[in-house]
Amino acid sequence: LLQPWPLLFYFIFDHPHLFYLIWAGVMLILIPVTARWHGKRFCTWVCGCGGLAETVGDRWRHNAPKGRKSIAWEFMNWIVFGWAVLALILFFALPAVGIHLVKSYSSLVDFWLIAVLPVAAYPLFGGKIWCRYWCPLAKYIEIFSKWFGKLKISSNDKCITCGECSRYCQVGIDVMNFAKNQQDFSNKNTSCIHCGICVAVCPMDVLKFGDQK
């Protein structure tokens, strides 16, 4: 009663079976369910890296790389995602090999690709470099959101092609092109993180969130 177990953070680490059960529930149930209804909102509204980008990196959001070449480079998070999956599998199947992959992942990804390079690059490439190009969790969520996600951003016929929506987008989406053609966009055709900034900055209230049929 003095130390209720749900409030003890390290309780689950002292009980591996409980940790694996909770971890599996989050990865196999919670994330797919939330991705269906909320897309990649986690990346902006929950994730600490996304929160840092939305605060410290916000003043440079207009520097986010745009265009087809910048989109083509998004393949890099498939590499990091594959590395994470392989390290996880080998950690359980061949621990002697897997532990080295985990350590190298921790050194390169957890330190350099999360803590150092993206933050240092805020003034050059905006705040979402990690989220857009390297984050394996963002790619994992995107897989489900693209497969059966319901969240989309739609537009009406009032677009004046001012370009504010595209300028503010931190993941380099040409939002104005969708808006002026009254086309919906979601994770089925973009890497949108559903932050809502394009909806908020539009002076004509052209854009809005909605559900896909």
- Is residue 2 pLDDT above 60, yes or no? no
What residue spans define the domains of the chain? Answer: 13-211
Residue 198 corresponds to which amino acid? C
**Banded pLDDT at 5 (limits 50, 70, 90):** low
Reduced to 3 states, what is the DSSP secondary structure of residue 154?
strand
Strands 207-211 and 151-155: antiparallel
CA dihedral angle for residue 180, residue 192, residue 47, residue 138, rounded to 10 degrees: -170
Instruction: Supply the pLDDT for residue 151.
Output: 96
* 152 beta partners: 210
173-196 pLDDT, tens digit per residue, is 999 999 999 999 999 999 999 999
Taking only Cα atoms into account, the Rg of the chain, rounded to an integer number of angstroms, comes to 19
Q: Are 102 and 108 in contact (CB under 8 A)?
A: no
pLDDT reading at 53 higher than 60: yes
pLDDT beyond 80 at 11: no
Confidence of residue 1 (pLDDT cuts 50, 70, 90): very low
Say if residue 17's pLDDT is above 90. Answer: no
Give the DSSP H or E segment for 210: strand 207-211
Q: Is the pLDDT of residue 161 over 70?
A: yes
